[in-house]
Structure 1
Amino acid sequence: MGVKIKQENKTIIALGIETSCDETSVALINSNKEVLAHRVASQIKDHEIYGGVVPEIAARAHLSLLPGLLDQVFRDASLQPHDVDVIAATTGPGLIGGVVVGTMAAKAMAAALGKPFVAVNHLEGHALTARLTETIEFPFVLLLVSGGHCQTMLVENVGAYKVLGATLDDAVGECFDKVAKMLGLPYPGGPQIEKLAATGNPKAFVLPRPMIGQKHLNFSFSGLKTAVRQTIQKLQAEHGDTLPESIVADVCASFQQTVARVLYDRIKQAFLYTAEHHPNYKQFVVAGGVAANQHIRGALQTVCSEFGFAFFAPPLSLCTDNGAMIAWAGLERFQQGLTDSLDIKPRPRWPMDQIRGISS
């Protein structure tokens, strides 16, 4: 059982390491919610020729980049490694090669410096990010939307999560990337679709809206992805393989609008559920890479306004994978006494409802 640590007003400094996918990132933050230093090294150039992340290339890049990033953040913050109070790293879920690199580096530092180690669930990092930049008390409803995940949950406390619904097939971010690839857009696809959608007609193409109006709280995006593929194939048969930019923009706008409408409906159903079963939940947080999409944020802000929920989202720079969210989650867990043995193993899968909390 975790025992909350009394710090007697001492400012705690946490080091966070994130290596779960294609960003190598390191951050130093403190318990006053100050980001002392934060570095992110993107691997987009390494993976864009393949149209997606290649796990072995990602792991090798993490191994190459991490030592330099660690040196940089300590220089940026004018701190030494021994000044850190707790060391945290993403220990799952994620591409296991990268997760191993970050976890082993953090463990080695913790052992050498005699500092506590916190194994952070990558999804919990996203879930708690908004608490770093906003004043949000527990509990709250969370929508986690990223390249690998799409789920709605109740967040009761650090380490206390109840999943209400999840995707039955593709994640939202994955769907964005695959549609972008169909259209010949560069990787990563999400920002490219959002940019082009701004000039397109969201009513140009009628696309299916999976599970709209259904009272369960799950998601599905594979049917939408298939419908977009069929639409693109019909357009290519008419216009040739390289579609005019105006048509590409219309496809992007129609797809983005459909996703936003689906997410609006799914959160509407979640709010109806919480009103009946958990009426004390009146805050909503959206997190993950897809939370950076302004059109989707707008749809979620609308449903929050309609149901009387306060809306929160991390700043755009902290929506995608980053070390600051891992440092913050590590600090939050450390303050609750939730540190980990150096024997803990990295894991490619780690459901949020299996995270150890203060009552575990």
Structure 2
Amino acid sequence: MSDPFLLSRILLKFDRDADDDLIGELSAVAKTPDGSLWLGSDELTSIERLSPLEPGVYGAHQLFRIQEFVELIDDSEIDIEGMDYADGYLWIVGSHSFKRKKPKGTKTEKDLERLSEIKRDANRNLLVRIPVLNGQPVQSCATSDDAGDRRFAAALTRTEASNLLLDALKKDDHLGPFVEMQLPSKDNGLDIEGLAVRGDRIFLGLRGPVLRGWSIVIEIQVEASETGQLTLKKLDDGRRYRKHFVDINGLGIRELCFHGDDLIVLGGPTMALEGTMQVFRLKDVLERDRDTLWDEESGVLKLLFNLPFTIGADHAEGLTLFPCFEEDGLMVVYDSPHPERRPSDRSIFADVFRLPK
């Protein structure tokens, strides 16, 4: 393991309508080939686009509401936790998690009652892709290579209880009990926080549950209908998903992104704990065609570096590749940013670290 090497800090400038629900709660980031940065907050139902203004500075903030492209159930938060760009689509995933109400610290009896209340915001069960054309999200567009082929926005099909993925996981030996119990994310329940897409393969990293110190990446493939619905495609073995177990020192997965054919894994404390966050490389993940289990002794999983740690602030949440000074760089954006990271009410610094080969 090498120490983290900070290549640069990038200033992200938002417009006058941005508030702490955005700048103080950044949870996902993706960089598209035109140089734009796309960001999401776990408190909102929109995505944000920033454009390069000058070296090290992004701005010209644009906001796009996800309901303009796919139907949402209500006005509750999506809890956006992962974002990626692949083959002309921006992909977004919600946490798919339940939540338990927080005590307010006023009346003991009322606080105990709040701790017994569990709910899920319906929009959290979202996996969506949105075409991007000339730097703008669109409902549909023709592909550049075939005028008869079109890209169109679509979301994973809802079911009576939730969606196709959660329905499939209810029968899983490892994850089924957590889904059936409706265990909240902050109680080590199901909590999707990572998303990485390559071709038709989608990798979802779980912050929880962590099972005996092992965290889980779910791999799925989807197929779409022009009605805007995504369904789970059968894999080569006839199943609807694969599971990749990784021992990342007992941490949950906070984000994923591809670097070549390797998966970069951001590990952080599960539930509501504070602690060190670490960056790992899972090698040649696209070569795996069955359930897998990897630790560092395997040579397939490698710890790259620890992120700087501040108790109560700078919780790393989003990753995207960001070449910098002719080096492979990894951009990190933060939830609960330290005040020194915010030079103004409408701006914040993201970090770019050297990504070891």
Query: What TM-score, normalized by structure 2, do the two folds share?
Result: 0.25
Q: Which has the higher helix share?
A: 1
Q: Which has the higher strand share?
A: 2
For CA contacts below 8 A with separation 6 or more, give which structure has more relative contact order. Answer: 1
Larger Rg computed on CA atoms: 1
Query: What TM-score, normalized by structure 1, do the two folds share?
Result: 0.25
